[in-house]
Structure 1
Amino acid sequence: MTLQFDPVRLPARCQALREEVRTFLAEEIKAGTFDPENPGVDETNSVLFAKKVAAKGLIGMTWPKAYGGQERSFLERYVVTEEMLVARAPTRHFFVADRQSGPTLIRYASESIKQDILPRIVRGELCFCIGMSEPNSGSDLFAAKAKATPVDGGWVLNGTKIWTTLAHKADYMIGLFRTSAPTKENRRHGLTSLLIDMKTAGITCNPIAQIGGEKEFNEVVFEDVFVPTSHLIGEIDGAWKQATSELAYERSGPERFLDTFSALDALVDAVDGVDGAEDDARFTVGVGRLVSQLHTLRRMSVSVAGMLASGREPIVEAAIVKDLGTVWEQELPHRVRDLAAFLDEARPAVQAIQRHVTHELHIAPKLTVQGGTTEILRGIIARGLDLR
């Protein structure tokens, strides 16, 4: 295989949309809908914000009009995501559904499910979570043991999923369950994807506390949970192909390198207020290196968005973006802190850097784990390049 990152340029309509989104976000900040300086996961703000984003037509914007979408391009959606991330907007309620669950349903779900679920996502009404990782197997989805046993009218689920973001708030999960044993020839065989109503009896969500105090991750335990036949997503025993396609959406977006961007933004603001900073090699080289790295990651990510828009499945390229991007954003708060050490800590702008760095150092450890660990990603890349 040959890697390909096409030199995609954002068209003029994307820039026009960017200005619209910036205006919308500025108005919501002014109205007090959310505070970019205090971006904690506030479910009340997140639900309210989802309804406002939906009213602007910015959820499911690439989807068919038949399901409430607007059939806009992936590149336009990319711009919206960028602006939301930079503004630290509370997108948690709708983000997973918009990014990957909706596209998965469009491609693999029954028409009745599409007609029921997709318009509700577009209206900002539904929150989704992803049930893939399990205890003792993590990102190795081949090792999934949670079972879906066939019964009259559907399946009964038993097992555990873990690191399931917002499962305790989600309306639905798209979960990966074992319906048959893997074969000697094909370890991928035997996995089936199901749409699960999270209010179904037998589901228990146990929040997992994070170092920063948030509890957005969960252990989700299934005990004799019934899922009807109509909630099958794709083929029985053949969900691995679907899962890898779904992960191309999850792994390649700007959220894979912008999660800690606010620290760099605060550093640039602080340096901009220092007389003579443009002549100080510590800042010109340090900040310049970080910005150039960010620009490179962004160009690669935009390229993957272009491939998705053309109907391709850039699984290896998406894995590269996720690997490089999350390692970079995990290290970014440390680099910003090192450069900020040369600034006058009494200045308010420098104190703002410290606030951002403190928050982002707390979230940084999870960045190279969620969406696939670095080790798993490098295995995918090696296989894609015929190196293993």
Structure 2
Amino acid sequence: KIFLGGGLGNRSFIGHQLEDFTPEEDLLYTSIAVMRIFDRLGDRKNLARNRMRYLVNDMGWEKFQNLVLKERAIVRATQSVVTRLNVDDTPHEIKRPIRVSDESGSTSVDGYARWLKGSTFKQKQPGYYSVFVTLEAGDITSNQLHVLSELIQDFSAEGLGRAGFSQNISLRYVHEDDLPHLYTKLLSAGLAKSGSLTMSAPIGCSGTTSCNLALTNSHRLAKEIQRKFLELKLDEDDDLRDSSIKISGCPNSCGQHGIATIGFFGGGARVDKDMYPNYMMQLGGRSDGETMLGISCLRVPAKRVIPVILKIIEVFKENKKPEDDLKSWIHRVVNGVDDSKIKSINDLKEILTPLTLPPSKTEDPDFYADYGSDSSYHTKTGKGECAA
């Protein structure tokens, strides 16, 4: 399946499926056709809008789709292209199909069962697990990276570590008998945090720690949320497992906030002359078969983000059906089809609003500083290093 015209940014769009099924031999023809159409019709005057998602939105999907299909026919008739997908054949023939470790660990080590539940899953290949090394907002020290590289070679039967957009590192084909020993090694390196596959591992872009376009320290906020959630052991709550928190330091979506169960993008707000870091909270985003972009709910001060999230979880627990998880409940609420007392996003907003009211600077000076900063908040942006 090929999807075109979607993308996250200051203005996000959901992609359109080109056709029911695209054969392997047509993949490169299709890619060339799409590039030709975009090269021909893209907005070269306003580079900020020179994105395929804007072209598709302005032109209309049906017209763009027809242009691509016609162009593909031309490419196929005029160019000879051999396409062969380079598919990893590991599932059919495990590269090192023996236990890597000759040592055994203990399953009674403190935190092992919690880590096993929240940061691993059983593969369909008998006897093997995928292990996800949880990082705080993607941060890892050079010493930890050195240790991790050795563990990847020692414990992954394919000898590879994979970094993804979830800001963790995954090891596939770890033998189940090796899991306790691997956990002990990760624990000694400070890399055995639980909850990598749960809501307790939020995604945060670099924010003001390094980005000239950022308005808030989304990077540090993601760390604070993770620490609080692990402290409360929310990574063990099955109702929260499939939900996500994603944070961007500005509206440009580097933190993917638009497709999060609970998403935030940064900005600033003011009480009289005093500014404070602020986030727009969006709810209900998802990128599965029921893909939708998050719906804006309300603005939340940076130092109130954690209380607001915890309140959402509390309200969910009070109103959920037995089969509900947080993701499905929020989906119904934002679409106005829930039959509990929280029938719409406005009902939820009414409950959350009191938590977002700013105190005076005299009452709470820390409220007016962003995470990771001792000074009062102010907005300062510069020329971006990316295409945003």
TM-score, normalised on structure 2?
0.26
Instruction: Determine which structure has more spread, i.e. the larger CA radius of gyration.
Output: 2
Higher helix share: 1
- Larger relative contact order (CA 8 Å, sep ≥ 6): 1
